[in-house]
């Protein structure tokens, strides 16, 4: 089963595969090992990354960050397409 899923993901260029333990990464906030991380741009104040750096956060931390943002700044208006 894992080989067929991996072959499908390689053909469709879907990476990482959710549930594939070989592609686990650690969340930069909580350090949990998760199969999928979401990149967010974080302010980093050093000469290497003058405009900020991307940090990988898990879905749980992303929900908490969004909740904290809404408590502090209010909800974001949805853009109409």
Contact 55, 66 (CB under 8 A): no
Write down the pLDDT at residue 34: 87
Report d(CA 28, CA 61) in Å as an integer: 9
Beta carbons within 10 angstroms of residue 34's beta carbon: 20
Q: Would you list the DSSP string of 20-67? A: -GGG-EE-TTT--EES--EEEEE---SSS-TT-EEEEE-HHHHHHHHH
pLDDT band at 21 (very low <50, low <70, confident <90, very high): low
What percent of the chain clears pLDDT 90, i.e. is strictly above it?
19
Q: What is the pTM of this model?
A: 0.58
Among 30, 2, 31, which Cα is nearest to 18's?
Answer: 2
pLDDT band at 2 (very low <50, low <70, confident <90, very high): very low
């Amino acid at each position: 089963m894992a080989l067929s899923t991996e072959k499908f993901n390689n053909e469709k260029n879907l990476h990482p595969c959710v549930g594939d333990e070989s592609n686990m990464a650690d969340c930069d906030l909580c350090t949990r090992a998760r199969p999928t991380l979401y990149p967010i741009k974080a302010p980093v104040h050093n000469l290497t990354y003058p405009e900020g750096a991307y940090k990988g956060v898990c879905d749980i931390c992303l929900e908490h960050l969004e909740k904290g943002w809404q408590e502090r700044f209010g909800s974001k208006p949805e853009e109409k397409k």
